Chains A and B, each alone.
Chain A
Amino acid sequence: GQNIDQPTEMTATEGAIVQINCTYQTSGFNGLFWYQQHAGEAPTFLSYNVLDGLEEKGRFSSFLSRSKGYSYLLLKELQMKDSASYLCAVRRLSGAGSYQLTFGKGTKLSVIP
């Protein structure tokens, strides 16, 4: 089976840096994805890692350690609009040759002034 864990909620101050952790257990690992989801809206793709290391994309960075089953999303220079849920999702290559995403429950980030 698959298991994805991330904190339920976090609070951070505007202008600060926040790190959202995600641990996972899966077979057929084929990448880890981070999505942002505002309440009532669709998940929006932020970043992904297939290989170990850090991927930087503007104010967002994501890190992966496959041996540890661990990833984090780093948000810098926090803005009020960053208040949202951040979804960790593991992509798995199935025996049927297709890809599917398995999502964690999401971390609700509240940015305060």
Chain B
Amino acid sequence: EPEVTQTPSHQVTQMGQEVILRCVPISNHLYFYWYRQILGQKVEFLVSFYNNEISEKSEIFDDQFSVERPDGSNFTLKIRSTKLEDSAMYFCASSSYMLTRDGNQPQHFGDGTRLSIL
């Protein structure tokens, strides 16, 4: 079964450094998302991406964050200057669209990147 893949599985970075988290969504999917989950807390929406542009972003997704689809397969999340509070699990998700009564299909999540800021 196709799956969303994320690299690296664990990233350790010094505070103030830039990080890029990488994702390869399922190949025929059109909608891409980033979520984060701070340890012990709920999964939180960061940003959605469709047709090569951001569709929506949450208040968490400030100017330090950016997303890019540099080629036909990768989808990246960049944090420009990391802070201690950016330590979390970051999940990429993707979904397709089908013209059924249900419209947009369920989002499928990657295994996540655990980001640790020191």
Contact = CB atoms under 8 A, between A and B. Distances in A.
Contact of A30 (B42, B55, B104): B104
A105 B50 contact: no
Contacts of A44: 109
Contact of B31 (A43, A94, A96, A98): A98
Contact of B50 (A45, A91, A98): A98
Contact of B42 (A42, A91, A99, A103): A103
Interface residues of B, number: 26
Contacts of A97: 55
B95 A105 contact: no
B72 to A, nearest CB: 21
A104 B56 contact: no
Contact of B56 (A87, A91, A96): A96
A48 interface: yes
B61 to A, nearest CB: 11
Interface in A10-49: 30-31, 33, 35, 41-45, 48
B103 A101 contact: no
A55 B81 CA distance: 45
Given A41-B111, A43-B91, A98 B56 contact: yes
B108 interface: yes
Contacts of A98: 31, 48, 50, 55-56
A84 interface: no
B110 to A, nearest CB: 6
B56 A94 contact: yes
Contact of B43 (A31, A87, A91): A87
B111 A42 contact: yes
B113 to A, nearest CB: 11
Contact of B103 (A30, A42, A102, A104): A30
Interface of A: 30-31, 33, 35, 41-45, 48, 50-51, 87, 89, 91, 94, 96-106
